[in-house]
Chain A
Amino acid sequence: MDTVKRKVLIVDDEPNIVTALEFLLERRGYEVRVATNGEEAVALAESFRPDVMLLDVMMPKRSGYEVCQRVRERPDMQHVKIVMLSAKGREAEVSKGLSLGADLYITKPFSTQELVERIDALLGAAAKPGAA
């Protein structure tokens, strides 16, 4: 297991959060790819085959909800863990995200450390951190 790097696809149009998350997850031993809009995300999901998708809700072109629904429509991607990240935190939106197949719905701002821990937990036997 340790030899296979777990893959994370970060989908967010905010470069600053992407920089931070990418840095952190790479240090944690994940293989990371970034998509900055919904369409790119759907395409990358197919080629990159991530284990986890971090999905921002508010994006140009397709919204995070649509990407989520798209991914869940495909039988070969049922195992992908989807974590929705959103600047919108109303209950109805959380409920919508979970109904459409997200595993987690996390409202911004969040603790990066906690996010990583929750991703680890989602993947069960998580990849060991590559460095201290």
Chain B
Amino acid sequence: MKVDRRLWLWVGVCYVGTLAVVAGVLATLGAGLAPDEQAAFQRVLNERVPALVFALILLGFVWFGIVRWFSRRYPQAARRLAEQTRVVLAANPEYRVVADGAPELEEAAHAINQLAEAYHRALGDLEARSAEARAQVEEERNRLAALMSELTEGVLVCNVEGRILLYNERARRLLAPKGAMAPQSAPLGLGRSVFALLDRDQVAHALDKVQQRLAQGEERPVTRFVASVAHGALARVMVTPFFDADARVAGMVFTLDDVTGLLGREGQRLALLHSLAAGLRSPVANVRAAAENLVAFPEMDDARRAQFAQIVAAESGVLSSRLNTAMNEYADALKASFTLEDMSVADLVSVARRRIETALELPTRADEVAEDLWVRVDSFAFVQALAYVAGRLRDEYGIREVRFRAQASGGFAALDLVWTGAIVASEALSLWELQPMRIGADETPLTLKDVLERHGGEAWTQTHKQSHSAWFRFLLPLGERVAIAAPAAAAVGSRPEYYDFDLFGRIEASRELEDQRLADLTYTVFDTETTGLQPSAGDEIISIGAVRIVNGRLLKQEFFEQLVNPRRPLDPESARIHGIEARALADQPAIGGVLPAFHRFCEDTVLVAHNAAFDMRFIELKEQASGVRFTQPVLDTLLLSAAVHPTLEDHRLESIAERLGVRVIGRHTALGDALVTAEVFLRLLALLAERGIETLGGALAASRETYYARLRY
């Protein structure tokens, strides 16, 4: 259209221009003639009007022809050349331009083709180099994966924020929940937080210890704890920091060992020993006392003698049955105490002080803590115990400050928690020993007695009247001094190869979430199947499926899939859509149990769903009952599709998938739809970027603007 108009414009300009020149020439000529000559000229002209008209028309055609010929050879040919060049640049570097205009343009085309050739070669080189690099990385990864799968320990690597960068199969098996609840869910996943898997306090405590030992100049501090992990197993966890090029801590390696069996056996062995010790001493004492009397006093009367004989007989019976029971229960006794580690009392005190000061806001002081005194201790549990006692002192006796004192005492270390003022009755401690420990808002199932028994320790109160001070004395077994390892010279420069993983550098900046780039976020893409379309009229979720997108990659192996018992009959209409039968749902958990598992799966991610308002409405109605809230941002592929293709009407999932070239498989299962939605979402991200929408805030704003945002379920 535009070209045509310009063509006509030029034809017009030339035509009118020619006429103007001719008219000008005639006028000039005419002005120089005599009046009679003018009249003759006029007459001549008048006689030739048809010829002149013909000449004028012909002139028009001639100009049209000339202008069109020129326009084809130059401006239009140049534009065609530009379009072809763009194809080379954007779509197909092997394409070669053809000029169909003037020879000058052919020269230009030739030059462009030479440039295209060079560009193509450069691209090819780049491609080859990056393919080579990828192959190398891939090979390293495979080697590492093979190495890690050989390990009998579980391995987790995470960055300083606790985001998981790497894990092996063994770790997955140790940490993934089993059983009826969400059998397919895997809260262990790349980019997830390690704190969701292991007890936050225990991990923080381990990291504190590592930091402290680093500060003391230890090069490779390693710290251990025992954690309860999924399905009641116990894992011995070893935490080792690793460093970046500037020798700052870049992350942690967690090595996990399943010690459930070992600890169970050790517990059994201890229980056996205790029951033997406690159960046998008394009857033996009784028999011995009675027998000794019988021997020492042969002259005693018959009634007495009979009484002692009775005692001997009865107690011997007790003895033999106890011994038999114990022998039957006797299991392999393994001498290993994983829960205890050697630690200097000074370190223990400083960790305890920090815990008490932060958790209880109670000032502390260290008085006379012996140097170089080592104990064998489960430092986590013991620090909990100290904090617990300090907390009760504060709450029940108004103690404002506690002090620590420690010295060797016989074969033990005596650690005193000292305070001034209130006298605490000895009965109080007996009571405190037996109640579950609570520190601030944290409650543990352990009691102080459990902790003391685990250490073979004791605790009691003592008072010193003159100084108005009193203390709890804890007796702990002495430990062996752990030498600070000398710096390993070989370690410098021989850094493991898997330092190069993409995720390593992904330390989340503290920017507001909305300012984060869409490409950097982690997403949970989910879908639900429901009994019907009206959540407020009693329709229920019967299935949730979800997958994760981390670092722009769809992680198909880290998915969540769970059927839900709706606790109401299924409408046969809806069953035709999702194909789930009521029978399949009868044994499934109810939504109140599923949502918390799904909530864990979604932790720290942005939620994505197609027509998310619908799914979120169902979920919101269940938040109260399930005790979890989904507060993360939600993106809707329907709204995003409408935002990138505002002129198109159809934004059903199938239609978008078709438009964006996503193959649709397994639709109308929650997981199948979630997968399709995820693929669609990844493609939508690219289209959003083209429109300059690159942050979460931008995507949310674009969604809000679209018409569909006004729909309410």
Query: Which A residues are closer than 8 A to B by beta carbons?
Result: 14, 16-17, 19-21, 23-24, 27, 58, 62-63, 65-66, 69-70, 87-93, 95-96, 99-100, 107-113
Contacts and interface: CB of A to CB of B under 8 A. Distances in A.
Contacts of B326: none
Interface string B54-81: 0000000000000000000000000000
Contact of A111 (B281, B288, B462): B288
Contacts of B292: 20, 24, 111-113
Tell which of B315, B411, B457, B460 has the most Cβ of chain A within 10 Å.
B460
A112 B286 CA distance: 10
Contact of B289 (A24, A89, A96): A24
Interface in B374-411: 409-411
A109 B277 contact: no
Contacts of B448: none
Contacts of A62: 427
Nearest to B318: A16
A65 B475 CA distance: 15
A107 B281 contact: yes
Given A100-B460, A107-B281, 8 more contacts: A14-B286, A16-B286, A23-B304, A27-B297, A63-B430, A96-B460, A108-B282, A112-B292
Given A63-B430, A65-B460, A91-B412, A20 B289 contact: yes
A44 B557 CA distance: 73
Given A66-B427, A70-B426, A89 B277 contact: yes
15 contacts: A16-B311, A19-B290, A20-B290, A21-B289, A23-B304, A27-B297, A65-B426, A87-B277, A87-B282, A87-B285, A89-B277, A92-B456, A96-B460, A96-B475, A113-B292
Given A62-B427, A100-B460, A95 B475 contact: yes
Contacts of A111: 288, 292
Going nearest first, the 5 A-B pairs with the smallest beta carbon separation are: A20-B289, A109-B285, A87-B281, A109-B284, A16-B286
B291 to A, nearest CB: 9
B296 interface: yes
B456 A110 contact: no
Contacts of B410: 91, 95
Interface string B411-422: 110000000000
Contacts of A14: 282, 285-286
A2 B292 CA distance: 26
Contacts of B458: 92-93, 95-96
A77 to B, nearest CB: 15
B293 A112 contact: yes
A99 B284 contact: no
Nearest to B290: A20
Interface of B: 277-278, 281-282, 284-290, 292-293, 296-297, 304, 307-308, 311, 314-315, 409-412, 426-427, 430, 456-458, 460, 462, 473, 475, 477
Nearest to A106: B285
Given A108-B281, A109-B284, A110-B285, A92 B460 contact: no
A112 B308 CA distance: 14
A109 B287 CA distance: 9
Nearest to B462: A99
A23 B411 CA distance: 37
B296 A20 contact: no
A20 B430 contact: no
A19 B307 contact: yes
Contacts of B293: 20, 23-24, 112
A131 to B, nearest CB: 9
Nearest to A70: B426
Tell which of B285, B292, B315 has the most Cβ of chain A within 10 Å.
B285
Contacts of B315: 16
A70 B304 CA distance: 36
A17 B457 contact: no
A87 B322 CA distance: 15
B409 A95 contact: yes
A123 to B, nearest CB: 21
A20 B286 contact: yes
A94 to B, nearest CB: 9
A105 B333 CA distance: 30
Contacts of B430: 63, 66
Contacts of A88: 277-278
Contacts of B287: 109
B284 A108 contact: yes
A107 B304 CA distance: 26
A98 to B, nearest CB: 9
A44 B303 CA distance: 29
B411 A91 contact: yes
Contacts of B286: 14, 16-17, 20
A88 B288 CA distance: 17
B311 A19 contact: yes
A16 B290 contact: yes
B351 to A, nearest CB: 22
B285 A17 contact: yes
Contacts of A27: 297
Contacts of A66: 426-427, 430
B282 A17 contact: yes
Nearest to B475: A92
Contacts of A112: 288-289, 292-293
